[in-house]
Amino acid sequence: MIRIGIGYDLHRLEVKRKFILAGIEIPYPKGEEGHSDGDVLAHAVCDALLGASALGDIGELFPPSSLKWKGADSMKLLQDVYSRVKQSGWKLVNLDCVIVCEKPKILPYREVIRQSLADVLEVTIERVFIKGKTSEGLGPIGKGKAIEVFAQCLLES
Ligand code: MG
């Protein structure tokens, strides 16, 4: 059997926060606000995997009301999510993501981010793709106030 899943997340961008995508820190004066480390890409991928396997959602599994997840490394959360997915008999076929932010440019970091996701999801890099898009200066994302990610995955059992 195969199943498709979709995940979405948005975080505000604030000063004195690290800009982190899939555990990779990108030099930039602002970063994602959040209860955890704010890794918006890791969060969207968690929700895509959880959606495809019908195992819940990230807010349910790791509630922001819990002090346990304050400053959490979101790639550890993704590792936890993927082990639940595997325990349910699923494995990843492929993952595709769109990262929307005005700055910084994602392309120079694309391969290292893909590899970081592939490592946690135990697949080769060609099964994982990401691309950066801008919002053409429009709305809160275009003004550099936020970043959003759309993630889509296919699982097979
Ligand atoms: Mg989030």
145 CA from centroid of ligand 1 (Å): 15
Say how many Å lie between the CA of residue 18 and the centre of ligand 1: 14
CA separation, residue 71 to residues 57, 80, 112, 137, 156 (Å) = 19, 16, 23, 30, 32
- Coil, strand or helix at 38: coil
Cα 105 to ligand 1 centre (Å): 20
Q: Please determine, for residue 120, whether its predicted confidence score (pLDDT) is greater than 90.
A: yes
Nearest to 8 by CA among 34, 47, 54: 47
Query: Which tens digits make up the pLDDT trace of 21-46?
Result: 999 999 999 999 998 999 999 999 99
Span 111-128, average pLDDT: 98
Residue-wise pLDDT tens digits, 48-65: 999 999 999 999 999 888
CA of 83 from ligand 1 middle (Å) equals: 20
Q: How many CB atoms lie within 10 A of CB 57?
A: 14
- Whether 143 has a pLDDT exceeding 90, the answer reads yes
